[in-house]
Amino acid sequence: MKNIKSKFKDILPKSNLRKQNKDEEDSDYIRKVYPILFKILKKKHTRKKEKDENGKDENGKDKNGKDKLVDVKGKNGQTKADIIKDIYEENARLLNLGWGKYIEEEKSKGKDNTDWKLIYNRDQLSSVYKLDSTPLKCPFCGIDDCTTLDHFLPKKNYLLLSTTPFNLIPCCYTCNMKKGDYDPTEGTGFFNPYLDTSSFDWLSIKDFKLYDSSLQITYKINQLDNQSQKEKIEGAATKLDLLERYGNKANQFILNEKNEIKKYCSSEDEIKKFFKYILDSISKLNLDDDNWLKVLCTFIQEESPVSAEARKRLKKYCSISNRWVCFKNDVRGPERGESLKAYLKYVGNDEEKGVYFLSDEQLSRKIVCISYEIDNVQLEDENDLNVFVPGVIDLSDCKDAGFYIFDSQGCTGNCYKCIGCEHGVIVLKKDV
């Protein structure tokens, strides 16, 4: 998690914002952004005809014959003009009070009853922000790029803050969905990337274990001196499943680097140098990867007994064959009748074995190829397969993968899904 106050210029490219002065208050700086968004609001008046009870036009045209501009009213009697005026006033109150005092006041009073659907338009608001063309990492997780705008205080409860940049946080889709309508005023707190700073030491490796042929990396939140900051980080980490997501991301990262480690690192000391090089590259290039990667690389290359043991396990893990081979480009599945040799030549993997694990870089497309030449491949019918491959496959490896079988005639053309695995026997069912 990181502070993104410095990213305003990138997030709002249509603005003529200067960089924030060193001694300038956040509120003074952010106030410069508001005119852009209020212009949007003012354009949202709806042009329509006024009608009487019988549905006939009554003064529905101006002197030029054009429809009159009518300020539509919401369910509570507010007009859009009323709401725009209220938004000005509410944003001014937020800036004058600051987040801390503002939230304190909000806790002591009820939610506003403004009809937010009357004024809010996601597409119109998002068009002002630059989220796609500039790769900005999500400030909550640091894993994926920002593709959405999260309302720090949910718009259903705080309509009058629904368009202020101070309440809009660019983030990834996953974090936005997991946070949902969570209201930070009702809990112990929640990390705000515009206001809160997170030091490098809030996150660390909890375990670095090797189970049979599977690597398991887990993270933990460190003890922090600042109790308020600790509660905010813990609240965000819990709501967004950050520790589990970091563990999955770290496992994927190691998996993607496995061939490189195996190729260039013949000793534990070389593994240490390998990860120190990655860590140095992150620092030099000022990459947006968040703490999960920095913490992982720091841990592996440190001079400590636990790090030395991790390097030992990592070396053993990289020596295990028949694991996923990842490619930067998308990996297509084999075609019907395509030989295993031809398919492996296409994907660039010619290692001789009976089971082949292939994936794209993000492990979003996983393919397992099984040759009939391995022992105990039994085709019972067109729907079910029992495959015996002891010590190679477990359910955690293959539950999301597509399995393809190759016989002497090439690929059968059917894709199978794993429905069970026990004692080296996996049960496959035809994917229909």
- What pLDDT tens digit does each residue of the chain (432 aa) get? 776 666 666 666 555 555 566 676 655 665 565 555 555 555 544 444 444 444 444 444 555 554 444 556 666 667 777 777 777 778 777 777 777 788 888 777 766 666 666 667 677 676 667 666 666 788 888 888 888 889 888 887 888 888 777 788 888 889 999 998 888 877 767 888 877 776 667 889 999 988 756 678 899 988 887 787 888 888 889 999 999 889 888 887 887 788 788 888 889 999 999 999 988 888 776 665 668 888 999 999 999 999 999 999 998 888 765 466 777 667 888 889 998 888 887 776 555 566 788 887 777 788 888 877 665 556 555 566 777 665 555 556 677 888 898 888 888 888 888 887 766 677 788 887
Give residue 110's pLDDT.
65
In this prediction the pTM is 0.66
DSSP state of 260: H
Q: Any long-range contacts for 236-239 (C-beta under 8 Å, 24+ apart)?
A: 236/1, 236/140, 236/190, 236/191, 239/178, 239/179, 239/182, 239/190
CB within 8 A of 65, min separation 6: which ones?
none
- H or E stretch covering 315: helix 305-319
Give residue 298's pLDDT.
92
**CB burial string 78-112: b at 16+ within 10 A, e below:** bbbebbbebbeebbeebbeeebeebbeebeeeeee
- H or E stretch covering 388: strand 384-388
